[in-house]
Amino acid sequence: MINEQLEESVGPTAALGGGDSVFVRFGADAAFGVVYGTEANPNHIYVVAIKARYLGVGQVYDQLGNRLQENRPIKIYTLYAMRLDNLVEFEDQDGNGLADYQRGVSDGNFTTYTPLADNLYKRVRLDTAWNRNAIERSNGTEWRSWTFSLEATNLSYEAVANYTGSVAGVLPLVRFTFHLNASLEQVDDVNVTNWRITVGQVAGRYFVADASRLGNLTVSGKVVRYDLKWDQLIQGWTFAQGNAPPRQRLLLELGAIVGNFIPAALFDAWLNIRAVARIGEAGTVSYDTPTGAETANDTTGQYGRPVPLRSPYLDFGGNWTRIGRFLWVADSTVDGATEPVYGQVLGGFRFVAVGEAGNAFAGFLLLAGLTFAGGSRIEHDPSVVADVQADLRLPSELPTDAARALLVATVVVVVLVVALLGVVWFLTRRKRAPPPPKA
């Protein structure tokens, strides 16, 4: 029964800047849910997936060709978070539906606004206190679901870029209604990538000397599937004088974080050798543009102009494994009329931070956005989906004393709570942070 294996966690958290949270988790391999700010701890809303990614199975050899371990699972914990960042008013001068601007970037944080072809006016920051209503729960034999709303009222405007006009008044209401669904199924014919891992020793410490791909292995296990859809309502925006339809638009800025957790014991050996990158699993985002498919990662930097998205999705993953997908409906409802929604990407930015106890959190930060026609009442429905391969049953495992020693040197396995401490440190810059609850 799924009700015996998927656990709900609701309450305060220190993760991602702190506040409250609603999470569903499957053991230590998967957690999915929402983190949001409170009166005591204002914050953005984060849609979060923390998942074990099985990068494959390793056949571990030393540099003399002696096999040290057979069918050693290789998995990392990856955090994927979509942050609802800011609402920004702009005037679409060229009529392409995009907000044509750039952002300053400093230490992984977005700072200044630089308008390019369009006029930028003001924004409402979504790092605030959110009020949650009661959670509605339902379940079946193999699924569970949770529905709840987060809303903020009377939010202040602030000028951006070179705007010097009025920022009087408030935004009366922003509401996000979340529909979180989780299901679990047993699968018996899963192909996983098989790797030959060669390790060496320097001063008694193991390191990864080489990794090459072998044929796939067929295994069994469980798949946890999550999807989180939300209905968003923006009501009562006061537009700047002179910013009138059809050029009047609002931008919802989105910050996507993808990072892999590296425990302290492996920082020098694993991270410096970049074994995850060596097998193409550090993580990228893929999207469809008018000129074809493109990707962004930690080396992309900022584009000269925002890249328009032809299809309504962003796919996050590695060469062999998937992290998650962000989807949205291509139309919105503005004052009762159907209006198109446009997606854009501004760039991808690398960061590496060392957190509590020396744990490393390495990945990339993506700045994207969705734009809507201006109006008094704007409604739209995005979603995030993810699945997790968990509890794998391998054909055989031959543990030995040497293999147990190499477990620390060749497999990136971290406990969820330890991983979250690294996230908290990076995103809040706190020297000390209380450990988050199991989420």
The rounded Cα 233 to chain-centroid distance in angstroms is 22
State the pLDDT at residue 4: 64
pLDDT > 70? residue 425:
no
Q: Any idea which of 86-95, 168-177, 209-218, 365-374 has the lowest mean pLDDT?
A: 209-218
Q: What are the backbone angles phi and psi of residue 252, rounded to the nearest 5°?
A: -95, 110
Alpha-carbon distance of 373 to 365, in angstroms, equals 27
Three-state DSSP state, 283: coil
The pTM for the full model equals 0.81
Q: How many residues does the chain have?
A: 439
Tracing tokens 């055989």 back to the chain, one arrives at 396
Contact 251, 88 (CB under 8 A): yes
Alpha-carbon distance of 101 to 89, in angstroms, equals 12
Tracing tokens 């990076």 back to the chain, one arrives at 426
State the pLDDT at residue 267: 39
CA atoms lying within 13 Å on the CB side of residue 327 = 11
Residues 360-417: tens digit of each pLDDT: 567 888 899 999 999 999 999 988 776 655 555 555 443 333 333 333 333 333 333 3
Alpha-carbon distance of 167 to 159, in angstroms, equals 7
| Cβ neighbours around 30 below 10 Å, total | 27
- For residues 205 and 214, the model is more confident at 214
Domain limits, the chain: 2-428
